[in-house]
Amino acid sequence: MNIYEEAHLFVAATRVCQHKKQSSPPLEDICSLLGISVESGHSICRKLEKLGIVEIFEDPFNLRLTVADHLQLEKLPREEKGGNSLAKELEQFMAKKKNMHKKIESIQAEMEAKKKSMFSELEAQLKKKMQE
């Protein structure tokens, strides 16, 4: 999801929570409405605060948010220029992990084959000695 869509969703969730509670909603409520982690919510709200879109009020127990200037949302880029680098990195990591699993499986299969051949050789030697 690009920053434009992410910001619109976050601001909309802030407004819905504000309407429900009739006060500035805490960040946890907004994150639970969106189904995202609080850490991810912190990241988003800090970005939006820097852009002047939301205003953060900190009390000793939590962060409360209000929409400061919703018109700034339209100034955000609608598409990411470099693509979603995090998604690309995750995809590359998963591919490397899959390759590593394949290597591990092949090594385990090879070890199992060596073990079987060793046991068969030992069995053959034992039979030979028992026949003598």
* Cα separations in angstroms, 82 against 5, 74, 87, 88, 94: 16, 20, 11, 11, 20
What's residue 59's pLDDT?
82
* Cα separations in angstroms, 105 against 40, 42, 94, 126, 131: 36, 41, 16, 31, 39
Give yes or no for a contact between 62 and 27, defined as CB atoms under 8 angstroms apart. Answer: yes
What's residue 81's pLDDT?
57
Q: Is 116 exposed, middle or buried (0-12, 13-18, 19+ CB in 10 A)?
A: exposed
pLDDT one-digit tens code per residue, 4-56: 888 889 999 999 999 998 988 998 999 999 999 988 888 888 888 888 889 88
pLDDT one-digit tens code per residue, 53-82: 898 888 888 888 888 888 887 887 777 555
pLDDT band at 124 (very low <50, low <70, confident <90, very high): very high
What's residue 72's pLDDT?
81
Amino acid 80 reads E
Residue 85 has pLDDT above 80, yes or no: no
Residue 84 has pLDDT above 70, yes or no: no
Nearest partner of 77 among 36, 47, 57, 100, judged by Cα: 47
What's residue 83's pLDDT?
57
